[in-house]
């Protein structure tokens, strides 16, 4: 057989492997050169606020992506259960993306504003008391852990280097703005709107007004997911075409 001859010739076999690997690499790398054309422009998308970014980092730290996807496929079953299928633009500021590969728990791409902050706090602290039969572990320590904002400016700067359009002002005042987003009594919302746009929530997410906790951050992140894009307007544009 031809492949037996190839296997007996070490140099030819090595060159064949190199050729196949090169083709595979080309197929993966080539689309990156047209990324600006393949990622659609969607009104409403913005980078994460510092508080949301801190919550996303906690989400990654606790391995939530291992059981929850953030990728609604175009299948009818997915759309009927979770909502509008995911758009590439929704992950344009994710480094790395949180699409996931397994659904031990439900997809979270559209979980924002689906439940109250109180529900999220109760669910994260004691999942089985909220969802019968849940296999999700509890994270009660998030409510007792003050959010460390010391490295937020560095996080924003690193993302800016990767292409996320954070301004110098946003980077400099990241720690301050994280505290402000979770402090509705101080009336900082208009300053935050000027920096990040009006499609963000400013409130005490964890029910504890005395300090900003990791629970504030992760709930702020969860409540933002899927809320930035007006899918009704997108669907109407598609119908008009």
pLDDT of residue 44: 87
pLDDT of residue 33: 66
Claim to verify: residue 10 and residue 60 sit in the same structural domain: no
Structure tokens at 173: 């005042």
173 falls within a domain: yes
Claim to verify: residue 72 and residue 171 sit in the same structural domain: yes
Q: Which has more confidence, 194 or 4?
A: 194
Claim to verify: residue 106 and residue 210 sit in the same structural domain: yes
Q: What is the pLDDT of residues 40-89, one digit of tens each?
A: 778 889 999 999 999 999 999 999 999 999 999 999 999 999 999 999 88
Residue range 126-149: mean pLDDT, rounded:
96
Q: What is the pLDDT of residues 167-188, one digit of tens each?
A: 999 999 999 999 999 998 888 8
Residue range 85-113: mean pLDDT, rounded:
93
28 pLDDT tier (thresholds 50, 70, 90): confident
Claim to verify: residue 8 and residue 52 sit in the same structural domain: no
Q: What is the pLDDT of residues 3-16, one digit of tens each?
A: 676 666 777 778 87
Highest-scoring range by mean pLDDT, 12-21, 40-49, 157-166: 157-166
Percent of the chain with pLDDT over 70: 89
Claim to verify: residue 85 and residue 11 sit in the same structural domain: no
153 falls within a domain: yes
Residue range 139-154: mean pLDDT, rounded:
97
Note down the domain range covering 131: 46-240
Cβ burial, residue 174 (10 Å; 0-12/13-18/19+):
buried
Claim to verify: residue 28 and residue 58 sit in the same structural domain: no
Whole-angstrom Cα distance, residue 55 to residue 49? 10
- Cis? peptide before 135, omega within 30° of 0: no
Claim to verify: residue 76 and residue 156 sit in the same structural domain: yes
Claim to verify: residue 29 and residue 60 sit in the same structural domain: no
Claim to verify: residue 19 and residue 62 sit in the same structural domain: no
218 falls within a domain: yes
Claim to verify: residue 96 and residue 149 sit in the same structural domain: yes
Q: Which has more confidence, 172 or 33?
A: 172
177 falls within a domain: yes
Q: What is the CATH number of the domain that holds 173?
A: 1.10.760.10
- Number of domains the chain is built from: 2
41 falls within a domain: no
52 falls within a domain: yes
Whole-angstrom Cα distance, residue 108 to residue 70? 5
pLDDT of residue 59: 97
Claim to verify: residue 136 and residue 55 sit in the same structural domain: yes
Whole-angstrom Cα distance, residue 76 to residue 183? 41
pLDDT higher than threshold 60 for residue 18: yes
127 falls within a domain: yes
Cα-based torsion angle of the residue sequence 161, 171, 198, 47 in order, rounded to the nearest 10 degrees:
20
pLDDT of residue 88: 87
pLDDT higher than threshold 90 for residue 192: yes
Claim to verify: residue 115 and residue 60 sit in the same structural domain: yes
């Amino acid at each position: 057989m031809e492949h037996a001859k190839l296997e007996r010739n070490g140099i030819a076999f090595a060159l064949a492997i190199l050729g196949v690997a090169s083709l595979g690499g080309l197929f993966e790398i080539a689309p990156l050169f047209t990324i600006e054309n393949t990622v659609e422009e969607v009104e409403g998308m913005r980078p994460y606020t510092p508080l949301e970014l801190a919550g996303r980092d906690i989400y990654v730290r606790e391995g939530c992506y291992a059981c929850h996807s953030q990728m609604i496929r175009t299948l009818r079953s997915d759309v009927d259960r979770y909502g509008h299928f995911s758009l590439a633009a929704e992950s344009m500021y994710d480094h790395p993306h949180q699409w996931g590969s397994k659904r031990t728990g439900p997809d979270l791409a559209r979980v924002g504003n689906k439940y109250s902050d109180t529900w999220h706090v109760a669910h994260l602290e004691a999942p089985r008391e909220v969802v019968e039969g849940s296999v999700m572990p509890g994270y009660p320590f998030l409510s007792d852990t003050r959010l460390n904002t010391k490295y937020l400016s560095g996080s924003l700067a690193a993302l800016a280097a990767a292409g996320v359009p954070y301004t110098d002002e946003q980077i400099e005042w990241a720690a301050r703005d994280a505290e402000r987003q979770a402090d509705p009594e101080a009336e900082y919302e208009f300053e935050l709107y000027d920096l990040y746009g009006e499609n963000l929530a400013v409130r005490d997410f964890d029910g504890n007004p005395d300090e900003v906790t990791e629970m504030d951050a992760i709930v702020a992140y969860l409540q933002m997911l899927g809320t930035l894009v007006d899918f009704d307007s997108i669907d109407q544009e598609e119908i008009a075409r």
